[in-house]
Amino acid sequence: QVQLVESGGGVVQPGRSLRLSCAASGFTFSSYDIHWVRQAPGKGLEWVSVISHDGSKKYSADSVKGRFTISRDNSKNTLYLQMNSLRDEDTAVYYCAKEQRYYGSGTFDFWGQGTLVTVSS
Amino acid sequence: DIQMTQSPSSLSASVGDRVTITCQASQDIRKYLNWYQQKPGKAPKLLIYDASNLETGVPSRFSGSGSGTDFTFTISSLQPEDIATYSCQQYENRPLTFGGGTKVEIK
């Protein structure tokens, strides 16, 4: 069965960095685009970033552009999110989410359980 | 960016009631709309994709309709296990955007 397991969250001071990981299993990881989506406490869902199946294309929300970098290692079935210059407003649960279709569409058919990032001094 | 306006933000209904949630896009998104269910402390779950297609394994009491800018999500007969927050999401354009969510409670 499809599994996505995020890790790397924690408490970090503003301006510092953190790297999240998402370990995938149960499907052909290298065939699918994968996204990061976050949810601030008590708030709605916010799309963060996507990477194509082969890592050649990456897109990010304006709110994180220039600070967050998405990457993947298909040999390890793992997705990453390098988060630099963290701000209070980056506090959220971060989910990795798998694309439903090979060609990518923006539909998330499987999600991880999420990892909490708290930015606080 | 495409803004997704969802209403109501919360509702309370009785078991067996028909529940309807609407989602309006700020511009034409054709059929490129999904609906997700999120229970407290859990990840979202895909229920409806392409505005009206039921994801595999999702009960048939859930349905979606609409195209263009106006969309509707319906639970035909509310069950206790349907207590959750429901969110719409467009994928016509990046950035992908979500509605603010509708919290469904049992009366």
Give the chain A residue nearest B36 (alpha carbons): A108
Q: Please report the pLDDT score of residue B83 as a whole number.
A: 97
Give chain A positions within 8 Å (CB) of B101. 44-45
pLDDT exceeds 80 at position A104:
no
Query: Do B45 and A111 make contact, defined as CB atoms within 8 angstroms?
Result: yes
Query: Do B98 and A45 make contact, defined as CB atoms within 8 angstroms?
Result: yes
Q: Please report the pLDDT score of residue A103 as a whole number.
A: 76
Query: Do B44 and A46 make contact, defined as CB atoms within 8 angstroms?
Result: no
Q: Please report the pLDDT score of residue A105 as a whole number.
A: 84
Cα of B29 to nearest chain A Cα, Å: 13
Residues in chain A: 121
Task: Supply the DSSP string of B3-59, one letter for each residue.
Answer: -EEEE-SEEEE-TT--EEEEEEESS--TT-EEEEEE-TTS--EEEEETTTEEPTT--
Asked if A1 contacts A107 with a C-beta cutoff of 8 angstroms, the reply is no
Mean pLDDT over A59-70 rounds to 98
pLDDT exceeds 80 at position A62:
yes
The contacts found for A21-28 with CB under 8 angstroms, 24 or more apart, are A21/A78, A21/A79, A21/A80, A22/A78, A22/A79, A22/A80, A22/A81, A22/A96, A22/A112, A23/A77, A23/A78, A24/A77, A24/A78, A24/A79, A24/A96, A24/A98, A25/A77, A26/A1, A26/A2, A27/A2, A27/A98, A27/A110
Give chain B positions within 8 Å (CB) of A46. 98
Give chain A positions within 8 Å (CB) of B91. 105-107
Residue of A105 and B105 predicted with greater confidence: B105
Residues of B with CB under 8 A from a CB of A: 32, 34, 36, 38, 42-46, 49-50, 55, 87, 89-91, 94-101
pLDDT exceeds 80 at position A67:
yes
* Facing residue for A111 by CB, picked from B43, B55, B98: B43
Query: Do A108 and B46 make contact, defined as CB atoms within 8 angstroms?
Result: yes
pLDDT exceeds 90 at position A119:
yes
Residue A37 CA to residue A108 CA, distance in Å, equals: 10
Residue A10 CA to residue B103 CA, distance in Å, equals: 28
Each residue's pLDDT expressed in tens, for chain B with a length of 107 residues = 999 999 999 999 999 999 999 999 999 999 999 999 999 999 999 999 999 999 999 999 999 999 999 999 999 999 999 999 999 999 999 999 999 999 999 99
Predicted confidence (pLDDT) per residue in A6-48, tens digit: 999 999 999 999 999 999 999 999 999 999 999 999 999 999 9
Q: Please report the pLDDT score of residue B57 as a whole number.
A: 97
Average pLDDT, chain A: 97
pLDDT exceeds 90 at position A110:
yes
Q: Please report the pLDDT score of residue B97 as a whole number.
A: 98
